[in-house]
A and B are shown apart, each in its own frame.
Chain A
Amino acid sequence: MSVSTSLSRPAPNSDVHNRDAQQRDDRGLDAADRAIVLATQTGLPLVPDPWSAVGREVGMSGEEVLERMRAMQARGVIRRVAAVPNHYRLGYVANGMTVWDVDDAQIARLGREVAAIEGVSHCYRRPRHLPHWPYNLFAMLHGRSRDEVERQAAALRERLGEACRDHRILYSSRILKKTGLRLAGARPGTASTATEGRG
């Protein structure tokens, strides 16, 4: 960002390039990356050379798609390219969003410890909104029953010890919308068509 602002007299067009470069710095994606994200976020085509198949869709060569996928992975935009299991279909039907009010001075260490406990799929620090929302640590638990989730939560409670003042387990009673589409919102007006009621 500092490099582009230090260019004192940009030639025509370079303004646009500077803006593009800055946008990539802020979000980690340029226009070509975004096209690839949109084309792959619901999954890769299951063919021997998926990159060329994606490339045909977005108007790039397979080599460029592969290169950009690797670059996005190196920058951390893509965590991994993987077979993503649906645990619900394998019997993990209970999910509990647990929320904890944890001593701020200890949360970084405890957050990492809690994240390693079996059954925890996500573990994040989020802001409190006092007085009505005191919880600053979120851990998503997955089990085959609510009993199993309760046991996992008890293990977390024990690990947090005196640093934890209060906690709750929120069970999902109904999935009202679930879609992996993240960048669809970049095209206003299309999101409502993705609505899926379940249950």
Chain B
Amino acid sequence: MHCHPRDFDSLDRGLIDIYQRGLPVCTRPFLSVAERLGTSETEVIARLERLHSLDVLSRVGPVFDHARAGASLLAAVAVPEETRDAFAALINAAPGVNHNYAREGLAREQGYNLWFVMTAPDEPELEARLDALEAHLGVPILRLPMLEGYHIDLSFPIPWAELECT
């Protein structure tokens, strides 16, 4: 299910802890990382490849601000539990849907149990896609665009020592 922290030595941990905050955007980024961590470029690349193949790193690359790199919106629908998966299949097949989670925990009268992210190259296309999907599904789509983001530090400190005890 998940990896154990003991499989990752201090170099692995350093790579994750330091570089989840950002790699140097320079001609030889992995050489620059290697110099800082006191190892070779080849070793850094090999470590990143291993961490990626174990899916401990989902990727090494740019993190886009989607509000500026296109249009996207969090959306939800309330559908009967017994037909939920059929609705989910329709949603997943719609162009622009890139996340879709079944979620529980709302009061019955609210009932939104499928939560997805709709994306499009621009706002008019986003609206058009949502309108088309709404007509296709036959249920209203709750549209929740981001109005303001409050998060500043996007990294997430990993408590390695604590994890080792679990």
A interface residues (Cβ-Cβ under 8 A, vs B): 26-29, 37, 40-44, 46-51, 62, 66, 69-70, 72-73, 75-91, 93, 96-97, 108, 111-112, 114-116, 120-127, 129, 132-133, 138, 142, 144, 168-186, 188-192, 194-195
* B96:A191 contact, CB within 8 angstroms: yes
Pick from A79, A84, A114, A179: contact of B99, CB under 8 Å: A179
Q: How far is the CA of A44 from the CA of B68 in the complex (A)?
A: 20
B76 to nearest A CB, angstroms?
9
Residue of A nearest to B4 (CB): A91
* A83:B57 contact, CB within 8 angstroms: yes
B14 to nearest A CB, angstroms?
11
B47 to nearest A CB, angstroms?
10
Pick from B115, B149, B158: contact of A85, CB under 8 Å: B158
B interface residues (Cβ-Cβ under 8 A, vs A): 1-3, 5, 15-16, 19-23, 25-31, 41, 45, 48-49, 51-52, 54-66, 68-70, 72, 74, 85, 88, 91-107, 109-110, 112, 114-116, 119-122, 129, 142-154, 156, 158, 163, 166
Given A41-B61, A81-B62, A82-B61, 18 other A-B residues pairs in contact with their CB atoms under 8 A? A27-B68, A28-B69, A37-B69, A42-B59, A81-B23, A81-B61, A83-B23, A83-B51, A85-B56, A115-B151, A127-B143, A170-B104, A171-B103, A175-B100, A176-B85, A182-B72, A185-B119, A192-B92
| Residues of chain A contacted by B30 (CB below 8 angstroms) | 46, 48
Pick from B16, B70, B93, B148: contact of A195, CB under 8 Å: B93
Q: How far is the CA of A183 from the CA of B96 in the complex (A)?
A: 8
Pick from B98, B110, B151: contact of A123, CB under 8 Å: B151
Pick from B59, B102, B149: contact of A174, CB under 8 Å: B102
Pick from A43, A48, A76, A168: contact of B52, CB under 8 Å: A43
* A43:B154 contact, CB within 8 angstroms: no
Residue of B nearest to A70 (CB): B25
Nearest first, the 3 closest Cβ-Cβ pairs linking A and B are: A43-B59, A185-B96, A111-B150
Query: 7 A–B contact pairs at CB < 8 A?
Result: A48-B30, A49-B27, A108-B148, A111-B150, A124-B148, A126-B145, A180-B98
| Residues of chain A contacted by B2 (CB below 8 angstroms) | 88-91, 93
Pick from B15, B21, B49, B129: contact of A80, CB under 8 Å: B21
Pick from B27, B61, B100, B146: contact of A43, CB under 8 Å: B61
* B70:A27 contact, CB within 8 angstroms: yes
Contacts A49-B28, A90-B158 known; A27 to B96 CB distance under 8 Å?
no
A99 to nearest B CB, angstroms?
8
| Residues of chain B contacted by A78 (CB below 8 angstroms) | 62-65
* B31:A48 contact, CB within 8 angstroms: yes
Q: How far is the CA of A72 from the CA of B109 in the complex (A)?
A: 44
A163 to nearest B CB, angstroms?
14
Q: How far is the CA of A82 from the CA of B64 in the complex (A)?
A: 11
